[in-house]
Copies of this chain bind each other. A is one copy, B any other.
Amino acid sequence: MFDSGVGGLTVVRAIRSVLPGEDIVYLGDTARVPYGSKSPRTVERYSLACQQFLLDRGVKLVLIACNTASANALPALVAASPVPVIGAVEPGATSALAATRNGHIGVIGTLGTVRSGAYAKAIAARAPEVQLVALACPLLVPLAEEGWTDDADEIATAVARRYLAQLFARDPLIDTLVLGCTHYPLLRGVLERVASELANRPVAVVDSATAMANAARDALRSAGAPDLARRAAGRLDCFATDATRLDELAPRFLGEARTAMTGFELVDL
């Protein structure tokens, strides 16, 4: 799997939980992070280079552990890959449809993800009656990376409130909030609390990491890959295009899966 940086490690955590026996090759394009503020053309160009790096290492499945890359580059990545490619948007949309009770869904993500309209298209294809509003929240990624993510953090709360108030102003009936960026699970507590306060009722929060892991399991089964469920824990090989802050940031995103990591090897793309 690849991501623009370290956020995709939340997907590693989910995969380790659902498919513990699989070997994982993770590439973070940390020299060119973030993708979220960049144009579709640039995101596609960088994503293709990331995927080629993984294909050159003989992977049997590619996971796009980055919503921005999924939203902007999935068709190009599928066309260029001889193995199945799974993005973040389709599984996230499926989870959101399973969670909503009234058909009002909110999505937050990067500028690139929101501008792509990918979640709206994925939802509309499955459930055209569902109403979806999406909002770009550029400050949430640096907040997560700075580690200002405690549920009671004054700044995280104020930032979440400013963004989510805009979202609920556009649809006060939202009952399900999609975290459309792999960084956002670190702010899940704050976002869930603020969303529920603004809605005056509990709001379901879904992230795409677990949904992606389930989709990966299904894809491997369909492809007839051997079931490694009873194998000892697989390898986790991590690569990055720039070293800065990796040792500080990676454990925050990996959670309990951090014990599997032996560090990042640097590569040029």
Interface of A with B (CB < 8 Å)? 30-33, 37-39, 41-42, 111-112, 138-139, 141-143, 145-146, 148, 154-155, 158-159, 162, 241-245
Contact = CB atoms under 8 A, between A and B. Distances in A.
A42 B154 contact: no
Given A155-B159, A159-B155, A39 B142 contact: no
A200 to B, nearest CB: 22
A1 B54 CA distance: 37
B245 A37 contact: yes
Nearest to A5: B37
B31 A38 contact: yes
A264 to B, nearest CB: 12
Contacts of A146: 138-139
B139 A143 contact: yes
A145 B138 contact: yes
B42 A242 contact: yes
A141 B39 CA distance: 19
Contact of A142 (B142, B154, B243): B142
B42 A112 contact: no
Given A138-B142, A139-B139, 4 more contacts: A32-B32, A41-B242, A112-B244, A155-B159
A39 B138 contact: no
A38 B242 contact: yes
Contact of A244 (B32, B111, B155, B243): B111
A245 B158 contact: no
Sort A-B residue pairs by CB-CB distance and give the 5 closest, nearest first. A39-B244, A42-B242, A31-B42, A142-B142, A38-B242
